[in-house]
Amino acid sequence: MVGFNGATTGGTLPDDGTIQIAFDRLLSPSSVTRQSFSLSDDSGNYLNPVITYDPVRRVVTLSTNSGGAWLTEGVTYNVSMGVAKASDSTGLTGPKAIDGATLTKAVTETFLAVASTGAESEYRTIDLCNDVLPLFQNDCSSTNCHGTPPGDGTYPREGLALDSPIGLANTAIGRVSQESNTGAQAGLGTAASAAPFGIDMPIIDPGNPGNSWLMYKLLLAPGSPALSPNPLSCGGTAVSPLPAPALNASTANPDAPTVALSASEQSILNELILGEQMPYPPNAALAIDELERISAWIAQGAMVVQCPSCPGP
């Protein structure tokens, strides 16, 4: 663990805000549970937050789906994380990295809930048409990959069409990836992790990028993605970048995203995620901010709307 957003705000968090824990390793998605990230108040009452994971920023978020204040102003809360047992592959005892590494000791982060300041969330609303669809069209949707079938009897790879809203809705949103249930490695994990990975994982799980097979396929692309020099939207106009979280105080630049996988993580992920990475070579890996636009869109519910005409690949 490398960061906690309460530590950057003087030990306080707004009563309608989110709790964020950052890691320097890619977590096994099956270990991100309410048991491995328990939230309680000082009176010993346990809450039932929604737990989500962003594999791009490697940040676990505790929040609510109801909106508004969900914590009690003036109450002190504790987020506790245990040291996972070697035999635990389901997140009952603590979080695990994909290589099986655990926390070296149990961790408890404490904060005081305070009245909301009415500040906006860290992300602007991600728009499918301007932020996400152009990335899929330009990098994933050639006729040999995930484009809409041309009507000549051919089909997109894995039956997945990413170049249109209707394709996303019908082939990706909430649809279980068949690759996630293929082969012994998908069911049993590698010797290093000794844990299942992605069983019945949706291609896109609205609200949870850490449980979305697509995100891990995108992270498989080789290289260390840099920031895009000029992130573009539909029509080629620049879009405003997403802010990076100020969670990792151990780096020279605490606002820098830490998306690049280590060589060992890349090797393990290659064993766990079957098939080729996306985008498929010779397309370059998506930039950090492009990956995060897709992840944030999924985190915000992966809303699919009808788009005006956009340039294809």
Residue 192 has pLDDT above 60, yes or no: no
Residue 249 has pLDDT above 60, yes or no: no
Task: Please state the pTM of the whole predicted model.
Answer: 0.84
What gap in Å lies between CA 198 and CA 176, rounded to an integer?
10
Count: domains in the chain? 2
In a domain, 247, yes or no: yes
Distances from the Cα of 59 to the Cα of 18, 62, 160, angstroms = 12, 10, 28
In a domain, 50, yes or no: yes
In a domain, 144, yes or no: yes
**Which pLDDT score is estimated for 72?**
95
User: What is the overall mean pLDDT for the chain?
Assistant: 79
What is the token pair recorded at 63? 């929040």
pLDDT bucket at 248, cuts 50 / 70 / 90: very low
Q: Which residue has the higher pLDDT, 51 or 141?
A: 51
Strands 107-114 and 12-14: parallel
pLDDT per residue as tens digits for the range 49-75:
999 999 988 999 999 877 789 999 999
Strands 59-63 and 19-22: antiparallel
In a domain, 229, yes or no: yes
Read off the CATH number of the domain in which 22 is found: 2.60.40.1220
In a domain, 122, yes or no: no
In a domain, 308, yes or no: no
What ranges make up the beta strands (E) of 184-275? none
Provide, for the chain, the percentages of residues in helix, strand and coil under a 3-state DSSP scheme, each rounded to the nearest 5.
Answer: 25, 15, 60
Domain assignment of residue 93, given as a range: 3-114
pLDDT per residue as tens digits for the range 23-53:
988 999 989 999 999 999 999 999 999 999 9
In a domain, 104, yes or no: yes
What is the token pair recorded at 161? 């069409």
What gap in Å lies between CA 25 and CA 61, rounded to an integer?
16
**Which pLDDT score is estimated for 208?**
94
**Which pLDDT score is estimated for 182?**
58
